Amino acid sequence: MSIYEILFWFLTIMAISSALGVILSRNPITSVLFLIVTFFAISGHYILLNAQFLAIVNIIVYAGAIMVLFLFVIMLMNLNADVEPQKGRLLQLAGVIAGGVLFLVILAALKSATVLPLEKTSSDIGLIKNLGRVLFTQFVLPFEISSVLFLSAMIGAIVIGKKEETKNPLTP
């Protein structure tokens, strides 16, 4: 077994077991921390595929920013098993059925998909120079449109956040 394979299996086991930890752990904080470990494992996979830029952006955006916000919200809400009202049996059953159906669909889709053999480090597309060139020539329109989408989402967030201020609390 080469280093590449050892690393691949290590990262795979880490990703799957921590992903299981996300849904199996009872404490929401632990779930989020497991999710961060999952993102790290996936970033490791990106590095194995020679896509270092994607790996780092994955860490910055998901593990660094979004997960920190998640942690913030969960810590402030103080979701504990004894505080949070437990869901009813019927709702739990409905959740299990819905999740199981989704699992079946994914399984069916994966079964019919053809798995391409993994070529290790043969492509340099993940390096920042090539990625930038492709994004700004071949896919420039979708790229710019998605940036407009992000901008509108940001402005929307500000508008929603500002709404309360304009109202005078004394006059109903």
Verify binding: residue 77, another protein, rule CB under 8 A. no
Per-residue binding letters, 128-167, with another protein (x by CB under 8 A): x---------------------------------------
36 makes contact with another protein (CB under 8 A): yes
Read off the tokens for 35: 């999710």
The reply to whether 71 sits near another protein by the rule CB under 8 A is yes
Give yes or no for residue 59 binding another protein (CB under 8 A).
yes
User: In this structure, is the dihedral angle defined by the CA atoms of residues 115, 120, 122 and 127, taken in order, positive or negative?
Assistant: positive
**The residue type at 53:** F
Q: Pick from 38, 41, 36, 39: which is nearest to 58 by CA?
A: 39
66 touching another protein, by CB under 8 A:
no
Q: How far apart are CA 5 and CA 125, in angstroms?
A: 21
Per the structure block, which two tokens stand in for 144? 């710019």
Q: Quick check: 120 and 48 in contact, CB under 8 A? A: yes
Counting contacts by CB under 8 A, is residue 75 touching another protein? yes
Contacting range for another protein; rule: CB under 8 A; set: 49-57, 89-97, 109-117, 155-163: 49-57
Distance CA 43, CA 2 (A): 20
Out of 19, 29, 48, 125, which residue is the one contacting another protein (CB under 8 A)?
Answer: 29
Q: Which residues bind another protein (CB under 8 A)?
A: 3, 27, 29-30, 33, 36, 52-53, 56-57, 59-60, 63-65, 67-69, 71-72, 75-76, 127-128
